[in-house]
Structure 1
């Protein structure tokens, strides 16, 4: 039996989806492997922060989620932590506003934090490259997705509309507006409808698409993934999006759903290419429209892509395989001599 490990996880936003996916969802699986993760929130300066720094000194490692620090705060954490691992799933050295513009303040904080850490846990190769200059171990830890026990059988029925699905929030709905003209170019005899789960109700003037908007809930999301025929994942090509792996495409594939997405970053990796493609990517309005029409008109191709996507996420993003990877990472990094 391996020795138990005590990890303190620290975040500034414990309610964020990122924290849930990158840390919180791993607490129970890691506990089964003898690794105890205790969650904490980074407080403002004062007695609570001092107490947290003292707690860091007693832990085997600190699992730091996203928050980039001032040089002063980074030095304080470095002095307290026996082992400091930073986990991030966005290019934190850039501003998330205006498509990931360079930010001198964020770059300085990123360097102060990541440069003092002992290792990086990142969500993609693009993000790994941001940590590369600091010379410490880097582990690419893909986001995990839970797979339903069974994939619905999607039978094509003449006359029934093919349902396009978009999952998201108000903040990402702007990406859907960016491809609004695509919906006016869908030249097909197959009836189409667009279901939006999350965000606000949208209309697309000039399009014949029937738009069905439903507020997000776990039940509504699962219902949509079960009933839809084709997922959508538009996003712009920016420094910010190139490092992201949109969670929605993992959900689509987990449910055996093919998808069309922007040819950006991790979308391209997840989609694959050639005869074994799991999805189609596009970089122009015409390419988007062509991809949607091709899949809308070919149920057998949709089914084959969906099956390949399901197999891919089970292998690359399945929780069982990633639990083993994460367990090995923590055991190996804790066993390393301190920097």
Structure 2
């Protein structure tokens, strides 16, 4: 089978892509499938596009991206399946998706891992809202052969438009990548207890929800520090804040220096679409995850069995203080968390579900 992957970002550049489908590509090839990955922009232009400023240059790159998509349609007839991650283009109506489904009669596997029919931006302009055209998600679901959904909340949305919506959780490679038995942590002070958070600039705002709690923790525990792994540093200060710029080459080693992983979220509709990826990363590395009880987090984590769920500041403070003070509890929750990921959220446990998308 020949499979066309229409993707927003160049391969290897986006965690969403890496953990939704890229880690399964070798398995597809081993099954005899031929794959072609088509990002909206090539790597060098993609990096320029996401730099601040250069508005006119970015507009030009969007037109180039659309030109690439039109060129792709000319060769799309040769493919047996078309896998679309999130959207074919970052702006405008779903013209590419419509042409593939209606004109070329292609069987589309549509994959998404966020509630991308809405936004979490509070002050989004009318222009941006119009350009993003988020209503296209329902149309693409309707036109697709199958819809691959990262959690049950996302699946319930897709079921409104397509009965063939499949729960395909975001998964972790617990053997070759998120495996503390084969990875070496970066250097750290052995006397420190490190609370870790990893993400991007777009999700740093969720970390800010815990600023006061983290300050109280550091005031009580001089050995406690906060590790932030992201593409830019947070916009707040703590007495002991460690920033590591995110890189696919160093993320695991940097994250393994943490003793506790945190995933705060607001309790809103957008957050219900999150797929628990941060918590899964921590758990896969034998690290106790402390998360907000929002969306899929309540499915992944059973409180005090394989992690902690905290809603209020008092609950967050109590959980972090307890874990800092009790090394054995950290180990017990960390081991249980890793086993949860291996059993239910690993590449090996989910391979059959992923392959079924192409049947």
TM over 0.5: yes
With 101-110 and 70-79 compared, the bigger mean Cα shift is at 101-110
RMSD of equivalent CA atoms: 3.0
Aligned to 1:11: 7
Shift of 1:308: 0.6
Shift of 1:168: 2.1
Shift of 1:189: 5.4
Query: Which aligned pairs between 1:175-214 and structure 2 lie closer than 5 A?
Result: 175-186=206-217, 188=220, 191-198=223-230, 199-200=232-233, 203-204=236-237, 209-214=239-244
Q: 1:101 to 1:162 in 2, by over 3 A?
A: farther
Do structure 1's residue 61 and structure 2's residue 91 form an aligned pair?
A: no
Do structure 1's residue 97 and structure 2's residue 121 form an aligned pair?
A: yes
Aligned to 2:271: 241
Aligned to 2:320: 292
With 161-170 and 102-111 compared, the bigger mean Cα shift is at 102-111
Q: Is the partner of 1:134 in helix, strand or coil?
A: coil
Q: Any unmatched runs of 5+ in structure 2?
A: 41-63
Q: In structure 2, how many angstroms separate the alpha carbons of the residues matched to 1:44 and 1:162?
A: 46
Report runs of 4+ in structure 1 exceeding 6 Å deviation: 99-105, 151-154
Aligned to 2:108: 84
Contact 1:99 1:241 in 2 (8 A): no
How many residue pairs were aligned?
317
Q: In structure 1, how many angstroms separate the alpha carbons of the residues matched to 2:299 and 2:124?
A: 21
Per the normalisation by structure 2, the TM-score is: 0.78
Contact 1:100 1:238 in 2 (8 A): no
Aligned to 1:124: 151
Q: 1:16 to 1:201 in 2, by over 3 A?
A: closer
Contact 1:190 1:297 in 2 (8 A): no
Contact 1:196 1:211 in 2 (8 A): yes
Q: Is the partner of 1:325 in helix, strand or coil?
A: helix
C-alpha offsets along residues 199-251 of structure 1, whole Å, 9 cap, x if unaligned?
Answer: 3155446xxx5222222334543333333211111122222221112422221
Shift of 1:188: 4.7
Out of 147, 157, 161, the residue aligned to residue 192 of structure 2 is: 161
With 134-143 and 180-189 compared, the bigger mean Cα shift is at 180-189
Per the normalisation by structure 1, the TM-score is: 0.83
Contact 2:180 2:285 in 1 (8 A): no
Q: Is the partner of 1:67 in helix, strand or coil?
A: coil
Q: In structure 1, how many angstroms separate the alpha carbons of the residues matched to 2:134 and 2:235?
A: 36
C-alpha offsets along residues 90-119 of structure 1, whole Å, 9 cap, x if unaligned?
Answer: 112112422999978745312222111121
Q: Any unmatched runs of 5+ in structure 1?
A: 332-339
Do structure 1's residue 115 and structure 2's residue 142 form an aligned pair?
A: yes
Q: 1:53 to 1:151 in 2, by over 3 A?
A: closer
